[in-house]
Structure 1
Amino acid sequence: MTFAFFLGAGNIIFPPQAGFLAGDHTFSAMLGFLTTAVGLPLIGIIAVAVAGGGWKGLTRDLPTSVATLMAVLIFIIIGPAFAAPRAGLVAYEMGFKPFLTDAGQWELSLFSVVFFAVAMFFSLSQGKLIDTIGKLLTPALFAALVVLAIAVVVNPQGDVAPAQGAYVDQAFATGFLEGYNTMDTFAALMFGMLIVDVIRKKGITSDAKTCQYLIYAGVIAATGLAFVYVSLFYLGATATGVAAGAANGGAILSAYVMALFGPAGQIILSAIIILACLTTVIGLVSACADYFSTLVKVSYRQWVVILSVACAIVANVGLTQLIAISVPVLFALYPVAIALIALTFLRRFMPNPALAYRVVLGVSLVFALLDAAKVAGMDMSVLKALPLFNFGMAWLLPTVIATVAVRFAPAQKGESSHA
């Protein structure tokens, strides 16, 4: 179930594009991508387990209002604003549109309604998520991906070409930043709570056992994701013969599968895409509804309906526009999520955890906003002297310095550092 929740639209369309552009630097780019798209989500799931299985545990040293605002922003990003509608759009563009001769806005609107209605139906049965996703949809999805991976290795459709663009000189860093697009570090923090609820509904009440199963789920998901990413990177790197001039990862994947399997390949690809996007949307809608129902007096089931309708509406914006809007937001908030995960493991070494969280998260946000402004197209050349600014990671060094500095802060009165 956890693997299926993570494996969505971005996880399938971004690796082929990165492999295609990285070319003979694919290995370095792939390592960078795996760091942010597999390593960080796994560490995020473990952080949720270590913190006691919820957002309150992760943010216990922050003011309640700040912690709640952070959670709401992340849920809006991975829910109705970006990730869930993007999954619906990718399902339409790659899983349904190729079978239409003259697709327009009407077809997209109709597909959005049906797709998010199906996601809503599965999300309503909150206690049965492991049974419906883990036992039914995931095996079908994984079987289709294994078939594709074997075919790519056995019959690659081209030679590996020279690296292009930023991948020529900055393969690892570019792959690292590309991993942001999966949004899985955000998702890990939020899915963790949902997985804990599902585990508890299975009769597991012990905190130690819940933590153990949560880590198991994270490791299984990370292993599955790594397998998918490595095969899709290799697919992209060997796609020069069939996808020259392709505009995005979706086009590369479609051209490759058509070359491998012919018209039947489109059916295989459609099954992969629609299943992957559907399971992710179910996870996102469920996680958002689960959290929002604890904030206001609106039930989980009512939130599922509200969020599903919102996602269907936003999905009609169009894929290109949605990705363009989401990238600066990711650059602003991803470093804060990374810093929060790091602090979860370092908290016991901090003399004053409340001060540490405020300072480190504040520093990471300020410098991440500079990176976000650059990505949004603002002229930030005056700041190019900042370390790693040209790599899109101006936040990293200041955040590390802040983390080291708060280690030597005065102890918090009336509280042990091991509280």
Structure 2
Amino acid sequence: MKKNMKKDILVMGFAMFAIFFGSGNLIFPPIIGLVSGEQVGWAIVGLALTGILFPMMALASVGNVGYNLQDMMKHINSWWHYLYMGLGLLVVIFGTIPRCGGVAFESGMQGIFGELPFMARIIFLAIFFAISYYFAMNRSTVIDKVGNYLTPALLITLLAIVVLAIVNPIDTLHSSSISTAKESFLNGFFTGYNTGDVGTGIICAGMFITAFREKGYCNKQEYNKMMLGIILVGFTLLFVVYAGLAYLGAQGVNYYSLDVNATFLLTDLVKNLAGYEGSFILAVAVILACLTTAIGMIATAGQWVEAWFKGKISYRQASLMITIAIFMISCLGVSNVLKISGPIFMILFPMSVVLTFLGLGKKWVPNDGAWKGAVWVAFIMSLFDALNLAVMTGLVNIDISGLMNIINQIPLAKQGFAWLIPTILGYVIGAVIYKFKKKESIAYEVWDN
């Protein structure tokens, strides 16, 4: 097979950028910039670490252990990947992809044409998901299609906004009344962390690794070069766009209150920057950002369902069924189904972070007991956060205030990291027990030489 590594790295790096850059990624950088003011540079650094680097580390961690999620999860239990994929599918079907369709219509289509009737929503969603399925239905070409066609269009719209913010700024940068350099960095750091894109990295890893292998990059050395290359491309593109949008937000310190709605902030900033033409460009960017994320998630979910049923349901059949189900859910509205996906996401996210560091640091993980202890404890601790969110959103009606008061006594709990210290203890205890019982660990999957 004839290979052109430089071209493949560029195309797949473009695809990585597009799949990671969903609709929410457009909205939060400007609000970070607004809060930071002239300290926006520190906020961008914090955001780059957790909002860009961590998710890409998550993607790389799967390939560092083996070929897919199953190779990673077998160090916990033989069935753990089914649990992770099942939870992931629920988040994708009841959260990520319906939200993509909803935001594409509400902030994209209506951003161009104004308020539209319900039937227009149905027609738009039918077209949106038909296009999503078209790009996702062929597993071997989905990355190339996104990287070659959709990403350039998305980048042009985003870079147009970024360039205008630089050459024709709304205002000079001013200091924010509440943000120091340290606070700006931490705000960017925690905002990037809370996007949950680390989970996206774990979820989408198999799609990229499959694309590597289908292009003929089958040994570890080639994998490392490819992964490093697409991470550099994806990181650079995301950094430029995030930094530009945050810089645009920082120009609004004297014009907007800090409690302004994040979506309104972005749309109004772009309108002030470039008038109706700017609003049109932003609406197109929103639609494309939602579309590329939906394609990536449909492709990943299709692979999972095919693997789950051991090929009895083909990838194309699985992708089509998922697309139809998501279209129907989106037509009913996403507000209620998001109440379901939120708690499930809270279960997946800490586990995804732990898996990322275990996968990347496999050389320093003493045995499978460390995997089991760390991931099991992260999973159990995340159940409390999921239950708390379910209560807060009205999905469950029980009083857990006493339980949460106990959980909040754990160090870093109030910062959203109640799982961290227990997980480290679980890692150590699991490793010691495994070593004491002299249990053998499962060998890591070896790539071809």
TM-score (norm 2): 0.83
Is 1:56 paired with 2:70? Answer: yes
Kindly indicate whether the alpha-carbon contact (under 8 Å) linking 2:74 and 2:80 is maintained by their aligned counterparts in 1: no
Query: AA paired with 2:423?
Result: T
Question: Gapped runs of 5+ residues in structure 1?
Answer: none
Partner Cα distance (2:362, 2:199) in 1? 20
Correspondence for 2:423:
399
For the structure 1 residues 348 and 101, does the alpha-carbon distance in structure 2 shift closer, same or farther, using more than 3 Å as the test?
Answer: closer
Query: AA paired with 1:299?
Result: S
1:10 to 24, 33, 42: 24
Q: How does 1:1-40 map to 2 (within 5 A)?
A: 1-23=15-37, 26-40=40-54
Is 1:85 paired with 2:98? Answer: yes
Partner Cα distance (1:329, 1:248) in 2? 26
Correspondence for 2:323:
308
Q: How does 1:13-412 map to 2 (within 5 A)?
A: 13-23=27-37, 26-77=40-91, 79-158=92-171, 159-160=173-174, 162=176, 172-240=185-253, 244=257, 248-296=261-309, 297-316=312-331, 318=333, 326-353=341-368, 355-376=369-390, 377=392, 379=401, 380-411=404-435
Kindly indicate whether the alpha-carbon contact (under 8 Å) linking 2:411 and 2:418 is maintained by their aligned counterparts in 1: yes
Query: AA paired with 1:199?
Result: F
Partner Cα distance (1:140, 1:222) in 2? 18
Partner Cα distance (1:309, 1:167) in 2? 48
Query: AA paired with 2:144?
Result: D
Shift of 1:311: 1.9
Partner Cα distance (1:299, 1:290) in 2? 9
Partner Cα distance (2:167, 2:320) in 1? 45
Shift of 1:349: 3.3
Structure 1 vs Structure 2 CA RMSD:
2.9
Shift of 1:361: 0.9
Secondary structure, in 3 states, of the residue corresponding to 1:102? Answer: coil
Kindly indicate whether the alpha-carbon contact (under 8 Å) linking 1:190 and 1:287 is maintained by their aligned counterparts in 2: yes
Kindly indicate whether the alpha-carbon contact (under 8 Å) linking 2:372 and 2:427 is maintained by their aligned counterparts in 1: no
Partner Cα distance (1:195, 1:31) in 2? 27
Kindly indicate whether the alpha-carbon contact (under 8 Å) linking 1:192 and 1:214 is maintained by their aligned counterparts in 2: no
Identity %: 28
Partner Cα distance (2:184, 2:341) in 1? 22
Query: AA paired with 2:97?
Result: A
Shift of 1:169: 9.2
Shift of 1:16: 2.1
Query: AA paired with 1:300?
Result: Y
Partner Cα distance (2:315, 2:375) in 1? 30
Kindly indicate whether the alpha-carbon contact (under 8 Å) linking 2:373 and 2:428 is maintained by their aligned counterparts in 1: no
Shift of 1:97: 0.6
Kindly indicate whether the alpha-carbon contact (under 8 Å) linking 2:33 and 2:40 is maintained by their aligned counterparts in 1: yes
Shift of 1:265: 1.0
Query: AA paired with 1:303?
Result: A
Partner Cα distance (1:31, 1:40) in 2? 13
Kindly indicate whether the alpha-carbon contact (under 8 Å) linking 2:57 and 2:360 is maintained by their aligned counterparts in 1: no
* Deviation per residue, 1:319-355 (Å, 9 max, x gap): 66565654444333211111111112343434431x2
Partner Cα distance (2:251, 2:85) in 1? 40
Partner Cα distance (1:108, 1:243) in 2? 31
Secondary structure, in 3 states, of the residue corresponding to 2:409? Answer: coil
* Deviation per residue, 1:5-46 (Å, 9 max, x gap): 111112112222333344466455444433332121111122
Kindly indicate whether the alpha-carbon contact (under 8 Å) linking 1:49 and 1:215 is maintained by their aligned counterparts in 2: no
Query: More deviation in 360-369 or 177-186?
Result: 177-186
Query: More deviation in 396-405 or 187-196?
Result: 396-405
Shift of 1:80: 1.5
Secondary structure, in 3 states, of the residue corresponding to 1:157? Answer: coil
Kindly indicate whether the alpha-carbon contact (under 8 Å) linking 2:90 and 2:341 is maintained by their aligned counterparts in 1: no
* Deviation per residue, 1:189-242 (Å, 9 max, x gap): 122111122222223333432343133223321222122212222222223455
For the structure 1 residues 117 and 179, does the alpha-carbon distance in structure 2 shift closer, same or farther, using more than 3 Å as the test?
Answer: same
Secondary structure, in 3 states, of the residue corresponding to 2:79? Answer: helix
Secondary structure, in 3 states, of the residue corresponding to 1:223? Answer: helix
TM-score (norm 1): 0.88
Partner Cα distance (2:366, 2:133) in 1? 46
* Deviation per residue, 1:30-75 (Å, 9 max, x gap): 4443333212111112212211231122112122222211122123
